Amino acid sequence: MSSLHERITKARKTRGLSQANFAERLGVTRTACSHWETGRAKPSTKHIEKIAKLLGIDANWLISGVRTKSDRLADRTEHSNTNLTLESRASYPGLFDRETQKVAADYFSLSRGQRKLVRDLIKALHS
């Protein structure tokens, strides 16, 4: 089982990226990446999406550690020549409850435009 920070670190290292290069590509400081990878801080939803895209991994898996059957099948065909090993299931004890994981899964099932609309709506509600 792994946690968010362990999944980020493992995926980054599997892709052969240094923290500095990873941070540069994400447009954040290396310190921010270090904090994400040590568990001192959690990346924002926007950064989760960027991390997933940059590393070629599923954002829902990144958050929850749960892989869908279609993701596992796609990995077998797309990444058969890579050394990327992702856990099929992991818990997130004490950090995210099942309802939060469900909301995250629903959010990441939306299109990019729909996710932006949700973020904009939440920002407007907090104003």
* pLDDT tens-digit readout, 44-65: 988 999 999 899 888 888 888 8
Answer yes or no: is 86 within a domain: yes
Per the structure, how many domains does the chain have? 1
First CA to last CA across the chain, in angstroms?
Answer: 38
With 50 as the cut, is the pLDDT of residue 79 above it?
Answer: no
Q: Is residue 103 in some structural domain?
A: no
Decide: residue 54, CB within 10 A, 0-12 exposed, 13-18 middle, 19+ buried. middle
- Mean pLDDT score, 92-112: 72
Which range of 24-28, 81-85, 86-90, 122-126 scores highest in mean pLDDT? It is 24-28
* Structural domain containing residue 35: 4-95
Q: Tell whether the model's pLDDT for residue 98 goes beyond 90.
A: no
Q: Which residues contact 90 (CB under 8 A, 6 or more apart)?
A: 1, 2, 3, 7, 64, 65, 66
- CA 96 to chain centroid, in Å, comes to 14
SS3 79: coil
Any domain includes 110: no
> Does residue 101 sit within a domain?
no
Sign of CA dihedral 80, 62, 101, 47: negative
What is the pLDDT averaged over residues 61-81?
Answer: 58
Q: Could you tell me if residue 69 is inside a domain?
A: yes
Residue 9 pLDDT exceeds 90: yes
In which band, very low, low, confident or very high, does the pLDDT at 100 lie, cut at 50, 70 and 90?
A: confident
55: in domain: yes
* Average pLDDT of the chain to the nearest whole number: 77
CATH number, position 38: 1.10.260.40
For the cut 90, the answer to whether the pLDDT of residue 36 exceeds it is yes
* Residue 31 belongs to some domain of the structure: yes
Answer yes or no: is 23 within a domain: yes
* Size (the chain), residues: 127
- Write out the two tokens for 20: 């500095």
